[in-house]
């Protein structure tokens, strides 16, 4: 947004405005695009030089003051802190197997975890899912990316070893590496 017939001598360059506000020059450009900053995009200095963008100093000061003030307080008061569920037993009350309340909570948590893992496994089996590693373990010959995933080596290293012969491999539209040879490394 340009403002005609103003004294531009005290206006700020993009870099000066960014430093004053405490943001990047891209953010200053975004403020100008949102019309939060008045600017002249094609200003020619009296001393010469390239054309530059300049920004109104009062607008820059207003945005900088608003940023320094920080965020507004929340309109809704924060929720009270959450209290732990269950009874907390002091260490002195602990029996031979530990505090009764804690052991009960631990077994409930363990049961929940086992149930979740079982459900996830059953879901993967329903969708015909077998893991990538089990698929790779069943293949006799592996491509370079598969060999890298199985061995943990980089693709570049496996490719170099195939080319120089330290890793026996077949060239069949790409390198094919026998799984047994890869595991022998």
Domain boundary pick from 33, 52, 69: 69
Cβ neighbour number for residue 41 with a 10 Å cutoff: 14
Q: Is residue 74 part of a domain?
A: no
Domain membership of residue 17 as a residue range: 8-69
Closest Cα to residue 167, out of 182, 183, 152, 150?
Answer: 182
Question: Does the residue 179 lie in any domain?
Answer: yes
CATH number at 18 reads 1.10.1660
pLDDT value for 157: 93
CA distances from 43 to 21, 25, 49, 66, 114 (A): 21, 17, 10, 27, 69
The domain boundary, picked from 69, 85, 104, lies at 69
pLDDT for 155: 92
Number of domains in the chain: 2
Does residue 114 form part of some domain? no
- The pLDDT-based confidence of 158 (bands split at 50, 70, 90) is very high
Point out the domain boundary residue: 69, 96, 118: 69
CATH of the domain at 139: 1.10.10
Indicate the pLDDT class of residue 3, thresholds 50, 70 and 90: very low
Q: Kindly report, residue by residue over 68-111, the tens digit of the pLDDT.
A: 776 655 555 666 666 655 555 555 544 555 445 445 555 556 67
Query: Does residue 91 form part of some domain?
Result: no
For residue 135, pLDDT beyond 80: no
Q: Can you give the pLDDT at residue 86? A: 54
Confidence grade of residue 166 (pLDDT, cut at 50, 70, 90): very high
């Amino acid at each position: 947004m340009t403002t005609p017939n103003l004294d531009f001598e005290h206006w700020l360059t993009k870099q000066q405005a960014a430093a004053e506000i405490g943001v990047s020059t891209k953010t200053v450009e975004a403020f100008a695009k949102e019309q939060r900053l008045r600017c002249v995009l094609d200003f020619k200095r009296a001393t010469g030089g390239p054309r530059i963008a300049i920004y109104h100093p009062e607008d820059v000061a207003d945005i900088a003051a608003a940023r320094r003030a920080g965020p507004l307080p929340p309109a809704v008061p924060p929720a009270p802190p959450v209290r732990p569920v269950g009874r907390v037993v002091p260490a002195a009350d602990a029996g031979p197997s530990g505090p009764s309340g804690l052991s009960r909570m631990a077994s409930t948590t363990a049961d929940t975890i086992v149930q979740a893992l079982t459900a996830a496994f059953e879901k993967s089996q329903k969708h015909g899912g077998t893991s990538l590693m089990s698929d790779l373990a069943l293949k006799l010959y592996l491509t370079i990316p598969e060999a890298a995933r199985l061995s943990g080596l980089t693709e570049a290293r496996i490719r170099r070893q195939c080319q120089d012969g330290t890793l026996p491999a077949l060239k069949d539209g790409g390198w094919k590496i026998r799984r047994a040879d890869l595991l022998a490394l």
